[in-house]
Amino acid sequence: MSNRQTETDVILIGAGIMSATLGTLLKELVPNWNIKVFEKLASAGEESSNEWNNAGTGHAALCELNYTTEKADGSIDINKAVNVNEQFQVSMQFWSYLVKSNLIRNPHDFIMPLPHISLVHGEKDVAFLKKRYDTMIGNPLFQGMEFSSDPKKLEEWIPLIMKDRKTNEPIAATKMEAGTDVNFGALTRMLFGHLKNKNVDIKFKHSVEDIKRNSNGSWELKVRNGSGQVERHTAKFVFVGGGGGSLPLLQKSGIPEGKHIGGFPISGLFMVCNNPEVIAKHHAKVYGKAKVGAPPMSVPHLDTRFIDNKKSLLFGPFAGFSPKFLKTGSMFDLIGSVKPNNVLTMLAAGAKNMSLTKYLIQQVMLSKEKRMEELREFIPDAKSEDWDLLVSGQRVQVIKDTKAGGKGTLQFGTEVVSASDGSIAALLGASPGASTAVPVMLEVIEKCFPEHLNNWKPKLKEMIPSYGMSLMKNPDLIRQIHTSTARTLGLNNGELQSSIK
Ligand SMILES: Cc1cc2nc3c(=O)[nH]c(=O)nc-3n(C[C@H](O)[C@H](O)[C@H](O)COP(=O)(O)OP(=O)(O)OC[C@H]3O[C@@H](n4cnc5c(N)ncnc54)[C@H](O)[C@@H]3O)c2cc1C
């Protein structure tokens, strides 16, 4: 029995970084719209956006080797890296706007400067890294990148990794001082705090169970509240920001755009260091190369993190298989997402990705000692007792039929799926993830509110000065933006807060 009914302009499902970002953008653009949020957990940012459930890398393609590929002619394709970097600059500009407008008080509560380093071993990979560096340094987005294959220089950059390294193999690294560590959990909570102050109605412990279209084009949500009662809430526009939980909700909406899509969950695990002396010896995010057959999101990396005003050290992620779509999800999520309209797509994906499934199952079975062996490729003298295992978030990769990959192709990016009339949109996939929350939510706005865009453009330009422009083609604008975002977000060297232990 329904005991409550409401009507509103906008409903956001899920209190992760995506809904937080969309809600904040909309409140700046149209302060008088009513917004409601339904979150099944007890607080904001508890699933993938939580600081312990992701790696906190501000993905700007400064160190992630999987964003650049070697072409058949030996040249390096940096298009994806350029795209990821441009997207991150959009997020940085919006976060700067939030700080300048006092919507966020202290930027170091969510973002810290941290060098981003790519590290490779062996002649072939060292040659690749050098070629990659030569290509990237010519692009205005990657100015400041340094390359070195000199072990003495590398000892300065990454002393913990170089100590006791006993191999004669060539080794090389690139370094970008301008990298960041982002606490997406803290940012999510700050944005929801701000939305609450702006009278957004945020309902925790409210799980959305169904979405149906009304005859007038609006959407009715069936929501189970914390007391187990069913409520009905109607909105003109719904954003499905349920993270891994978005696909089942999109399927319930019945929109044709949501058909023939499946999801494949990949879980993440990190090793977390418990020895303050070891933590103090490292200060960077160091990304290596993914093992052959490993999915791109399992590129190993050793990361300094800043969480709760404290430095931490994490290594991973180790991938794993679990049929759950959310960390707090159900063992029936995967099977429940197989529908008549996507069964062939899912079966094709299953057949195509047997080796990936095998790889993930092997990863789940790894003993702590086996994981330590992988860590020792980074820190040769790592001691088992200094490291604990941490279960982090679930990512649901999109499976769909594509021209290039055929039926049941596994996608590693993020996809906005929206109804043709723009009344509902869902975000699927999780890579590059939270770092691109701002450009991805701008995509939602552009797809779903085209009739308002002209009026909203001046405000969008105020919040994101490069809105609608390619930064790569405007080197002067890049310089201006780098300088002003670094100053506002406190990312210049020497500005680190003394409170960080
Ligand atoms: C291991 C790992 C490492 C990662 N590393 C990085 C990184 O270094 N950098 C980066 O930028 N990104 C990273 N990501 C990706 C990033 O964490 C995600 O892209 C991002 O957090 C997704 O945000 P979201 O708001 O879409 O989802 P979430 O944060 O998962 O939020 C979704 C919310 O919706 C709620 N919900 C779901 N279903 C319902 C329902 N039916 N009713 C009500 N509420 C519901 C959930 O409880 C949850 O709170 C990583 C992810 C993982 C798993």
Of 463, 500, 491, 495, the closest CA to residue 114 belongs to 491
Chain-centroid distance, C-alpha 189: 16
Mutation pick for ligand 1 pocket among 54, 270, 416 (CB with most ligand atoms within 8 Å) = 54
- pLDDT score of 496: 45
State how far the Cα of 60 lies from the Cα of 75, in Å rounded to an integer. Answer: 21
- pLDDT score of 493: 61
- pLDDT score of 4: 67
Ligand 1 neighbour 284 (Cβ under 6 A):
no
Exposed, middle or buried: residue 295 (CB in 10 Å: 0-12, 13-18, 19+)? buried
Compute the distance from residue 124 Cα to the ligand 1 centre, in Å.
36
Compute the distance from residue 393 Cα to the ligand 1 centre, in Å.
7
Three-class DSSP labels, 146-186: EEECCHHHHHHHCHHHHCCCCCCCCEEEEEECCCEEECHHH
Which ligand 1 atom lies nearest to the CA of residue 209? 41
- pLDDT score of 429: 87
**Closest residue by CA, ligand 1 atom 9:** 57
Strand 301-307 to strand 285-287: parallel, antiparallel, or no bridges (unpaired)? antiparallel
Residue pair 15/188 in contact (Cβ under 8 Å)? The answer is yes
Mutation pick for ligand 1 pocket among 17, 25, 48 (CB with most ligand atoms within 8 Å) = 48
Compute the distance from residue 18 Cα to the ligand 1 centre, in Å.
8
Compute the distance from residue 263 Cα to the ligand 1 centre, in Å.
14
Ligand 1 neighbour 245 (Cβ under 6 A):
yes
DSSP class of residue 55 equals -
Compute the distance from residue 429 Cα to the ligand 1 centre, in Å.
9
Which ligand 1 atom lies nearest to the CA of residue 268? 1
Ligand 1 neighbour 268 (Cβ under 6 A):
yes
Compute the distance from residue 75 Cα to the ligand 1 centre, in Å.
35
Ligand 1 neighbour 353 (Cβ under 6 A):
no
State how far the Cα of 457 lies from the Cα of 463, in Å rounded to an integer. Answer: 10
Mutation pick for ligand 1 pocket among 49, 233, 396 (CB with most ligand atoms within 8 Å) = 49
Ligand 1 neighbour 414 (Cβ under 6 A):
no
Ligand 1 neighbour 395 (Cβ under 6 A):
yes
- pLDDT score of 494: 46
What is the DSSP secondary-structure string of 70-88?
A: E-TTS-EE-HHHHHHHHHH
Ligand 1 neighbour 314 (Cβ under 6 A):
no
Tokens 């995967």, residue located: 334
Residue pair 412/295 in contact (Cβ under 8 Å)? The answer is yes
Ligand 1 neighbour 318 (Cβ under 6 A):
no
Mutation pick for ligand 1 pocket among 47, 66, 95 (CB with most ligand atoms within 8 Å) = 47
Which ligand 1 atom lies nearest to the CA of residue 430? 19
Return all residues near 385 (Cβ < 8 A) that are at least 6 apart.
none
Compute the distance from residue 217 Cα to the ligand 1 centre, in Å.
29
- pLDDT score of 497: 44
Ligand 1 neighbour 18 (Cβ under 6 A):
yes
Tokens of 28: 């700046």
Q: Each residue of 480-491: pLDDT tens digit?
A: 999 999 999 999
**Closest residue by CA, ligand 1 atom 51:** 54
- pLDDT score of 347: 87
Element counts in the chain: helices (H) and strands (E):
15, 21
Q: What is the pLDDT along the chain (501 residues), one digit of tens a residue?
A: 455 678 899 999 999 999 999 999 999 999 999 999 999 999 999 999 999 999 999 999 999 999 999 999 999 999 999 999 999 999 999 999 999 999 999 999 999 999 999 999 999 999 999 999 999 999 999 999 999 999 999 999 999 999 988 778 999 999 999 999 999 999 999 999 999 999 999 999 999 999 999 999 999 999 999 999 999 999 999 999 999 999 999 999 999 999 999 998 988 999 999 999 999 999 999 999 887 767 766 789 999 999 988 999 999 998 888 899 999 999 999 989 999 999 989 888 888 887 777 778 778 788 889 999 999 999 999 999 999 999 999 989 889 998 888 888 888 788 999 999 999 999 998 778 999 999 999 999 999 999 999 999 999 999 999 999 988 889 899 999 999 999 999 998 644 444 444
Ligand 1 neighbour 21 (Cβ under 6 A):
no
Beta strand extents in 255-386 (DSSP E only) = 261-273, 285-287, 301-307, 310-320
Tokens of 10: 């906008």
- pLDDT score of 355: 79
